[in-house]
Structure 1
Amino acid sequence: MTPQTAIAPAGVELLLALEELRTLKARYWRYVDTKRWEAFGTLFASDATFTDHSAGFSCDGRDGIVSGISGVLDDIRTMHQGQQSELEVLGPDEARGIWSMQDYLVFPPGTPHPTNPQPVQSLRGWGHYVERYVRIDGAWRFRTIDLYRLRLETTTVSHTAYPPDFTLGG
């Protein structure tokens, strides 16, 4: 159904749909941060797509998204926060949204990152998720997720060796 022909929910049904979409996103961040990959997969339509435009990273399909994101983040401590959602229910089974976000990732020692050739100690990012949702069997699922970062900061581990014979006073 297209937004032009669909009848969007109103009243209490609209409020319920908006709350269900907020819960979907909250679970997304919690499941990523707690590494609950099986539960994470249940949040996506089978034909969903995920793209992180700053990293040039994308995944297709529910299984590809779970495999791709868990493969990158499984050994990394992460903390994701989302604020100021803009949600629009387009029809009974279709919605879209934009979320502002902030994330903080702490890497195991010596881990390289695709956007920085030096081993990265941590990464902090700010930006927006632009998403489309579909309701399948009465439950909202992600159809597309596009992550656009406005700022990305990395810290690297210092490799400066301390002089072994450096002494004061003699």
Structure 2
Amino acid sequence: MENAMSECQTLSDIEEIKKLKARYCRFVDTRNWEGLRGLFADDARSTLGGDDQSVEEFVSLAREWLGDSTSVHSVSMPEIEITGPETARGIWGMEDIVTFPSHLGEAPKGIHGWGHYKEEYRKVNNHWLIHRMDLQRLRLDPLEGGFPDN
């Protein structure tokens, strides 16, 4: 019976982490910066483009870089492993498209990218949070108008 209970808890934890990552994508795309910050542990770190940063730096840079763009982030194929009662790690396939405003008649500038998020999670106050996030891009293509200027 105890083994069935722990299996049930493992499956429940994995589902909660999937929901956490879904909210991450939605909050980035809807520019819900406060909500995005709330998905991370207080001492969380991220590595994007090779730069290690605090979660505050990450949210600030995302807000600044994305600006008035339109973005669509999608993650799939989660490989989630519960490593302890309050720790887990995961790898997600990702794809994103970011389009920046253009002048009338100009082709849109932006990016279309693919890669993987490698993450660590921690359960805090009975809620899963992102503790470490590393985006490793495999490919990054410009949109028809080229890469963005910013």
Shift of 1:133: 0.5
Give the 3-state SS of the residue equivalent to 2:143 in structure 1: strand
Shift of 1:95: 0.3
Q: How does 1:52-67 map to 2 (within 5 A)?
A: 52-53=48-49, 56-60=50-54, 62-67=55-60
Shift of 1:58: 4.2
Match of 2:31 in 1: 35
Match of 1:129 in 2: 117
Q: Deviations over 1:67-92 (max 9, x none)?
A: 12112113211000011000000011
Query: Which ranges of structure 2 fall in alignment gaps of 5 or more residues?
Result: none
Give the 3-state SS of the residue equivalent to 1:32 in structure 2: helix
CA distance in 2, matches of 1:84, 1:21: 13
CA distance in 2, matches of 1:138, 1:154: 41
User: What is the RMSD computed on CA atoms of the aligned residues?
Assistant: 2.0
Q: In the alignment, which of 2, 8, 11 is matched to residue 12 of structure 1?
A: 8
Shift of 1:64: 2.1
Query: Which ranges of structure 1 fall in alignment gaps of 5 or more residues?
Result: 1-8, 111-119, 159-170
Aligned residues: 139
Match of 1:153 in 2: 141
Paired letter, 1:133: Y
Q: How does 1:58-77 map to 2 (within 5 A)?
A: 58-60=52-54, 62-77=55-70
Q: Deviations over 1:125-161 (max 9, x none)?
A: 0110000001111111111110011111013538xxx
TM-score, normalization by structure 1: 0.75
CA distance in 1, matches of 2:84, 2:139: 34
Match of 2:21 in 1: 25
Give the 3-state SS of the residue equivalent to 1:75 in structure 2: coil
Give the 3-state SS of the residue equivalent to 2:68 in structure 1: coil
Shift of 1:39: 0.7
Paired letter, 1:129: Y
Runs of 4+ in 1 over 3 A off after TM superposition: none
Give the 3-state SS of the residue equivalent to 1:131 in structure 2: strand
Q: In the alignment, does 2:128 pair up with 1:140?
A: yes
